[in-house]
Structure 1
Amino acid sequence: MDNKIAAIVVLYNPGISFIDNINTYSKYVDNIIVIDNSSANNHHLLAGFQTLTYIPLNENMGISSALNIGCNKAIELKCNLALTMDQDSSFEKDQITRFISLSNGHFTNLDIAIVAPSWLCSQSVDLTVECNSVITSGNLVRLSAWQSIGGYNEDYFIDEVDHEFCYRLRDAGYKIVLLGNVSIRHNLGNPLLIKWFGRTITSSNHSVDRRYYLTRNRLLCRRDHPQYKRPFISVLFRDVVNILLVEPHKLRKLWAIACGFYDYKIGRAGKRP
């Protein structure tokens, strides 16, 4: 069966630059599905695209819900692969052509649920690695695999959605493949750095709400998938130190971390109340 690809792009109060990002891969896919978590309607910004479906949610329903809506729409459009993209992610031309070409070979193996690009790429290294999890942006997801495990977990809302999804795929017997010679441009947070006693300290500078979800959902993921060992205490300690040394809104972010821990303990999931 020929691969038919739908790019699923999740928006949240985007700047105009997201149009340029979509342009880096739009001609290499069969359909574009834009799921908009913004309160404002952004359909007018997308008038220049052909074969585009715009689905406004009129509120932030989270990345997991948006991805599930997009995957269902992709299946309705008779696609068998989904290219899941953040609004701030993009490809160089040589990267997207290499990615789509390579993916066709990999997806003859029905055991492979996800083919993912790397963040950093060595053009001379043809390296394919099987791994336990990858971030969402840039993934080519087999929609039959997505369907077989019940989609993305909407209890997670945002953060750890990607890792939790991958762990369930792995538990179901699927493989996740990372391509070392294909890269994607992707921003993590709004990075800040300072010089401190001659040492450069970099912090992701995530928002207050993201600090809540990162804390709560890392704990949820560790509880739900204990067989996948990922550090939590050391990461939390690093985050707290970075907030204290580098980031603004220190008290609000530390309080958000505390709230995330508390909501995990009482079993509260989904959107932050």
Structure 2
Amino acid sequence: MRVLAVAVTYNPDIPLLVQAFGALAPQVEGIAVVDNGSSNAEEVQRVASDAGATLVASSENLGIAAAQNRGIALARAGGFSHALLLDQDTVLGPGTVASLADGLRLVEESHGNVAAIGPAYYELNSQTQTRAYRAHGLRLLRLSLRGEKRPLASDFIIASGSLIPLSVFDTVGPFREDLFIDLVDVEWCFRARAAGYKSFLAPTATVEHRLGRGVVRVGTRQIAIHVPVRNYYWVRNALWLARQPYTPPAWRLYFLSRCAAFLATYTTLADKRALRLRLIAKGIRDGLRSRLGSLEG
């Protein structure tokens, strides 16, 4: 197994990026940094060079999916067998990649076609560990990883930290670049699921992660607070994805209910409420019309 780590950057926190690459470098055979037009691109270039990484720079923000596809193309060209996708703020613990690789071999032997395997994230803002999600009829099952030792199947896994055999892309295809950001990983996992592949979470590979800038509580649920434009992309992509034939019915209901929760929560409990309302409303219109791509495009 030869693993190329593909890290996507956009205006990263440089000290955190140095920390992330320092933890990553001993665990993989190569690092590719795909920068999406960062305002601190020169610093990103310096950090990438110090880590021995290959830098793929863009003068503009092409979106997370386009950046990941660039990195995957680089992995193919370099003769790597697997890609490890990473966000700029993901710091791996020692042995994380080895644990993912062991888990991948295990589930490939027992389940056959495997799309990807990812770590068990501990989300710092909400102080919660990620769970496995499985559609069961109209119900969405949420399965705890606590006490588990073997990888658990999940309808989707977060892209950051996911280990993916490059051969899977031959069947499933690349990430959808017109989604730009948000739910890109979910859409790809659903497409892989429809093609007969399963995704897994490895409980023994734990990683700390931070979603957004904080959370707000709605009853027993917690919703991450992102910058306002992310409200547009999430709602738009969720409504589009809810209408795709490979999206399970339980997930369609989830996306519809979550959009309603976003509308109620972000316009009453978050900052910049008027702006968020306008962006969510536009996201609803564009999602129903299947108008994808960059908001600024």
CA contact (8 A) 1:192 1:246 kept: no
Match of 2:202 in 1: 179
Match of 1:11 in 2: 9
Q: In the alignment, does 2:228 pair up with 1:208?
A: yes
- TM-score for both structures, normalised by structure 2: 0.82
Separation in 1 of the partners of 2:96 and 2:27? Answer: 11
Give the superposition deviation at 1:247.
1.3
Match of 2:54 in 1: 53
CA contact (8 A) 2:103 2:150 kept: no
Match of 2:20 in 1: 21
Separation in 1 of the partners of 2:240 and 2:214? Answer: 25
Note the alpha carbon deviations across 1:137-179, whole angstroms, 9 max, x for none: 1100111112322211112111110011011111111121211
Separation in 2 of the partners of 1:228 and 1:178? Answer: 22
Matched residue type, 1:45: V
Q: Residues 267 and 201 of structure 1: is their aligned pair in 2 closer, same or farther, counting only changes over 3 Å? A: closer
Q: In the alignment, does 2:71 pair up with 1:70?
A: yes
Note the alpha carbon deviations across 1:207-266, whole angstroms, 9 max, x for none: 111000000000111111343522123212322333244311011011100001111233
Q: Residues 70 and 107 of structure 1: is their aligned pair in 2 closer, same or farther, counting only changes over 3 Å? A: farther
CA contact (8 A) 2:35 2:57 kept: yes
Provide structure 2 residue ranges, at least 5 long, that are not aligned to the other structure: 123-128, 130-144
Provide structure 1 residue ranges, at least 5 long, that are not aligned to the other structure: none
Q: Residues 58 and 175 of structure 1: is their aligned pair in 2 closer, same or farther, counting only changes over 3 Å? A: same
Match of 2:271 in 1: 248
Q: What is the RMSD of the two structures over their aligned residues, measured on CA atoms?
A: 2.3
Residues 69-148 of structure 1: matches in 2 within 5 Å?
69-107=70-108, 111-120=113-122, 125-148=148-171
Q: Residues 82 and 228 of structure 1: is their aligned pair in 2 closer, same or farther, counting only changes over 3 Å? A: farther
Separation in 2 of the partners of 1:226 and 1:166? Answer: 10
Q: Secondary structure at the match of 1:265?
A: helix
Match of 2:135 in 1: none
Separation in 2 of the partners of 1:80 and 1:270? Answer: 30
Give the superposition deviation at 1:193.
4.7
Q: Secondary structure at the match of 2:242?
A: helix
CA contact (8 A) 1:191 1:202 kept: no
Matched residue type, 1:220: W
Q: Residues 193 and 97 of structure 1: is their aligned pair in 2 closer, same or farther, counting only changes over 3 Å? A: same
Separation in 2 of the partners of 1:201 and 1:101? Answer: 33
The range that moved more, 258-267 or 211-220, is 258-267
Q: Residues 211 and 79 of structure 1: is their aligned pair in 2 closer, same or farther, counting only changes over 3 Å? A: same
Give the superposition deviation at 1:183.
1.6
* 2:248 paired residue among 215, 221, 227: 227
Q: Residues 262 and 10 of structure 1: is their aligned pair in 2 closer, same or farther, counting only changes over 3 Å? A: same
Q: Residues 167 and 200 of structure 1: is their aligned pair in 2 closer, same or farther, counting only changes over 3 Å? A: closer
Q: Secondary structure at the match of 2:208?
A: coil
CA contact (8 A) 2:108 2:114 kept: yes
CA contact (8 A) 2:34 2:56 kept: yes
Q: Residues 201 and 146 of structure 1: is their aligned pair in 2 closer, same or farther, counting only changes over 3 Å? A: closer
Give the superposition deviation at 1:94.
4.6
CA contact (8 A) 1:203 1:243 kept: no
Separation in 1 of the partners of 2:208 and 2:121? Answer: 7
Separation in 2 of the partners of 1:91 and 1:250? Answer: 35
Matched residue type, 1:158: I
Q: Residues 192 and 178 of structure 1: is their aligned pair in 2 closer, same or farther, counting only changes over 3 Å? A: closer
- TM-score for both structures, normalised by structure 1: 0.89
Q: Residues 266 and 236 of structure 1: is their aligned pair in 2 closer, same or farther, counting only changes over 3 Å? A: closer
Identity in percent: 27
Q: Residues 19 and 100 of structure 1: is their aligned pair in 2 closer, same or farther, counting only changes over 3 Å? A: farther
